């Protein structure tokens, strides 16, 4: 078992451009997630949110530009080293096999495990504790396929925690979740001392839980800043083509986005 406190990472996306099928889906996006901050990525469908995240977790090599984690190019470091520092939740679910929730969470130990030989001392405890953090310890031995959407998402987040990462990349972690579980998942992420880059659909959730927000539109980062700076009626109307009323939450002070008339 590691006895050190995991240090939050710094993610530096520099002038990243990506093409798909001859079309430019990201053009010269630059973005830095400071250690410990929660950075949201919002934007309309097809704006390039998932593409941007995929370059960060090394699934998609950008045509131009670099992605640096703590100053090192993620595409040049060994995959296992990257997996010990950065955990990601792509938008996919585990296959329909007889996997239990515990099996899924335990996969997060893989990058820490020796190539030959069994589990290391303490691996099991980290899995248990991570499942407890997402309140799934009691259901650990249920079949993953039979869990509800919210339970599945929490188990996948436990898998990411089991990696003991300094950086989390989450692709719409609140997708298909009801209000309470949307809130719980993001509140959990917020409590962790882990740098987080998360694509989010819901602007109110983004405003409530993110330190800063990056707005993507047609593959370009059109605004980066605190929720108050970024979520303005004029920008939202420009990016989404929808008339909105932006107010202020009476207690948290976060901006609130309502549909206009």
Partner 1 sequence: MRSPARAAQAESSSSTEATRPAPERVSPSERRISYPLVLVLLGAALVVAVVVGLAVGSVSLPPSDVTAILVHRVFPGWIDPGWPATYDTIVLDVRLPRVLLAGMVGAGLSAVGTALQALVRNPLADPFLLGISSGASLGAVTLLVTGATVLGTLATPMVAAFAGSTVTLAAVYALASSGGRMTTTRLVLAGVALSYVLSALTDLLLSTASDPHLLSSIRFWRLGSVAGAEWQTLPIPAIVVLAGLAVLLWQSGSLNLLLAGEESAGTLGLDVHRFRTGMFVLVSLMTGVMVAVSGAIGFVGLMVPHAVRMLVGADHRRVLPTAALLGATFLILADLAARTVAAPQEIQLGVLTALCGGPFFVWLLRRQARREKADR
Residues interacting with partner 1, by CB under 8 A? 1-6, 54, 57-59, 79-80, 82-84, 86-90, 92-100, 103-104, 107-108, 110-111, 113, 115-116, 122, 125-126, 128-130, 132-133, 137-139, 141-143, 145-146, 159, 161-164, 169, 191-194
Which residue in 44, 61, 43, 51 sits closest to 25, CA to CA?
A: 51
- Taking a C-beta distance cutoff of 8 angstroms, is the pair 25, 51 a contact? yes
Supply 136's token pair.
Answer: 């799934």
Nearer to partner 1, 116 or 258 (CB): 116
Nearer to partner 1, 104 or 224 (CB): 104
Between CA 196 and CA 199, with CA 197 as vertex, the angle to 5 degrees is 135
Nearer to partner 1, 197 or 257 (CB): 197
Which residue in 126, 133, 81, 90 sits closest to 108, CA to CA?
A: 126
Least distance between partner 1 and beta carbon 160 (Å): 9
Nearer to partner 1, 129 or 179 (CB): 129
Helix (H) or strand (E) holding 101: helix 101-106
Least distance between partner 1 and beta carbon 60 (Å): 9
Angle between helices 149-162 and 179-191 (to 10 degrees): 10
- Phi and psi at residue 108, to the nearest 5°: -65, -15
Could you give the CA distance from residue 188 to residue 150 in angstroms, rounded to a whole number? 13
Nearer to partner 1, 47 or 162 (CB): 162
Nearer to partner 1, 80 or 249 (CB): 80
Which residue in 116, 139, 137, 118 sits closest to 127, CA to CA?
A: 137
Least distance between partner 1 and beta carbon 241 (Å): 30
Least distance between partner 1 and beta carbon 206 (Å): 20
Least distance between partner 1 and beta carbon 95 (Å): 4
Could you give the CA distance from residue 18 to residue 10 in angstroms, rounded to a whole number? 22
Nearer to partner 1, 65 or 90 (CB): 90
Nearer to partner 1, 38 or 213 (CB): 38
Least distance between partner 1 and beta carbon 244 (Å): 33
Least distance between partner 1 and beta carbon 235 (Å): 31
Strands (E), 34-190: 38-42, 64-69, 72-73, 86-89, 167-171
Supply 63's token pair.
Answer: 């045509």
- Phi and psi at residue 40, to the nearest 5°: -95, 145
Least distance between partner 1 and beta carbon 180 (Å): 20
């Amino acid at each position: 078992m590691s006895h050190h406190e995991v240090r939050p990472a710094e993610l530096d996306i520099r002038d990243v451009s990506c093409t798909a099928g001859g079309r430019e889906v990201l053009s010269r996006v630059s973005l830095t997630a400071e250690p410990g901050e929660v950075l949201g990525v919002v934007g309309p469908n097809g704006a390039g949110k998932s593409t941007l995240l995929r370059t960060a977790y090394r699934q998609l090599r950008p045509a131009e530009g670099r992605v640096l984690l703590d100053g090192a190019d993620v595409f040049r470091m060994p995959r296992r080293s990257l997996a010990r520092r950065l955990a990601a939740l792509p938008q996919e679910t585990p296959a329909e096999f007889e996997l239990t929730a515990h099996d899924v969470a335990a996969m997060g130990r893989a990058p820490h495990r020796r190539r030959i030989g069994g589990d290391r001392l303490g691996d099991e405890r980290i899995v248990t504790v991570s499942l407890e953090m997402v309140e799934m310890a009691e259901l650990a031995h249920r079949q993953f396929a039979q869990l509800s959407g919210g339970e599945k998402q929490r188990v996948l987040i436990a898998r990411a925690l089991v990696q003991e990462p300094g950086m989390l990349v989450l692709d719409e972690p609140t997708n298909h979740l009801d209000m309470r579980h949307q809130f719980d998942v993001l509140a959990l992420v917020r409590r962790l001392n882990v740098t987080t880059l998360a694509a989010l659909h819901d602007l109110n959730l983004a405003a409530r839980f993110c330190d800063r927000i990056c707005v993507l539109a047609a593959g370009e980062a059109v605004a980066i800043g605190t929720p108050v700076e970024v979520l303005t009626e004029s920008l939202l109307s420009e990016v989404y083509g929808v008339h909105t009323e932006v107010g202020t939450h009476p207690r948290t002070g976060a901006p609130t986005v309502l549909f206009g008339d």
